Amino acid sequence: MLNRRKFLHTTAALGLGALLPKISLASTVNPYEIGIQLYTVRDQFEKNPQATLTALAEMGYKKVELYDYNAGYFGVTPRDMGIMLRTLRMRAPGGHYKYGLHDKNWSGTIRQGWKKAIDDAKLIGHKYMSLGWLDESERTKLDDYKAMAEWLNMAGQMCQNAGIQFCYHNHDFEFQEMEGDTPYDLLLALTEPELVKFEMDLYWVIKAGKDPFAYFEKHPGRFPLWHVKDMDATPAKGFTEVGNGTIDFPQLFAKAKQAGMKHFFVEQDESSGSSLESAKKSLEYLLQMEY
Per-residue pLDDT at 29:
52
Q: Is pLDDT of 10 > 70?
A: no
Q: What is the pLDDT of residues 52-69, one digit of tens each?
A: 999 999 999 999 999 999
pLDDT of 97 over the 80 cut: yes
Query: Are 181 and 174 a contacting pair, CB within 8 Å?
Result: no
Report all structural domains of the chain as residue ranges with CATH numbers, in order of start. Answer: 34-68+128-288 (3.20.20.150)
With 0-12 CB in 10 A as exposed, 13-18 as middle and 19+ as buried, what is 116? middle
Candidates 255, 254, 229; CA nearest to 243 is 229
- For residues 289 and 125, give the distance between their C-alpha atoms in angstroms, rounded to a whole number: 29
Q: What kind and span of H or E run contains 131?
A: strand 128-133
Q: Categorize the per-residue pLDDT at 112 as very low, low, confident or very high, splitting at 50, 70 and 90.
A: very high
User: What is the reported pLDDT for 32?
Assistant: 81
pLDDT in tens, 165-176: 999 999 999 999
The model's pLDDT over 205-258, given as tens digits with 9 standing for 90+, comes to 999 999 999 999 999 999 999 999 999 999 999 999 999 999 999 999 999 999
CA distances from 24 to 172, 186, 222, 288 (A): 36, 44, 32, 11
User: Based on the number of CB atoms within 10 Å of its own CB, is 267 exposed (0-12), middle (13-18) or buried (19 or more)?
Assistant: buried
The confidence score (pLDDT) of residue 25 equals 38
What percent of the chain stands above pLDDT 70?
89
Residue 290 pLDDT class (50, 70, 90 cuts): confident
CA distance 1 to 8: 21
Q: Around Cβ 193, how many Cβ atoms within 10 Å?
A: 12
Listed in sequence order, the residues at least 6 apart from 89 whose beta carbon sits closer than 8 Å to its beta carbon are 57, 62
The three-point CA angle 11-14-19 to 5° equals 120
d(CA 76, CA 98): 18
pLDDT tens digits, one per residue of 190-214: 999 999 999 999 999 999 999 999 9
